[in-house]
Amino acid sequence: MTNTNDFRMMMDAKTSNSSIDNQEPAFRIGNLAREFNVTLRTLRFYEDKGLLTPKRNGTTRLYSNCDRIRLKLILFSKKIGFSLVEIRQILEVYDKNKHLKNPMASVRDQFNEKLATLNTQKFEIEDAIEELTQQLSSEDGLFGD
């Protein structure tokens, strides 16, 4: 059974979403901000950078399901360390291939390279932590008496 907050969020989404071209659900900026736990300013920033392109109904931004998927990809890419320039390139490739069964397959190599970089950084950090721990705990270390 869902709790009251989950139910309220679900109902808010149902009642406050409009429709773009009467075919695709549309999400207002507040809905996406809550769903992805980002600020309204963040969404506007991505719009200013051309990474998101919501339609407008007067002053209301209406984000399509495609925009929602793009935001998910932007936030994931940012989380793992891609720059905005790299994210733009990933989105361009994604857009060119979104008609395919798996449009992300075309950018898999970029994500594999990022994984290798992150693993290298992880090992370097683990080595640094180990060395620092030894230095701090050793009387003969840099911080010894």
List, for residues 55-97, the tens digit of each pLDDT value.
Answer: 999 999 999 999 999 999 999 999 999 999 999 999 999 889 8
Single out the residue of 12, 92, 6, 75 nearest to residue 39, CA to CA.
75
Single out the residue of 80, 49, 88, 51 nearest to residue 68, CA to CA.
51
**Of 25-29, 64-68, 120-124, which gets the smallest average pLDDT?**
25-29
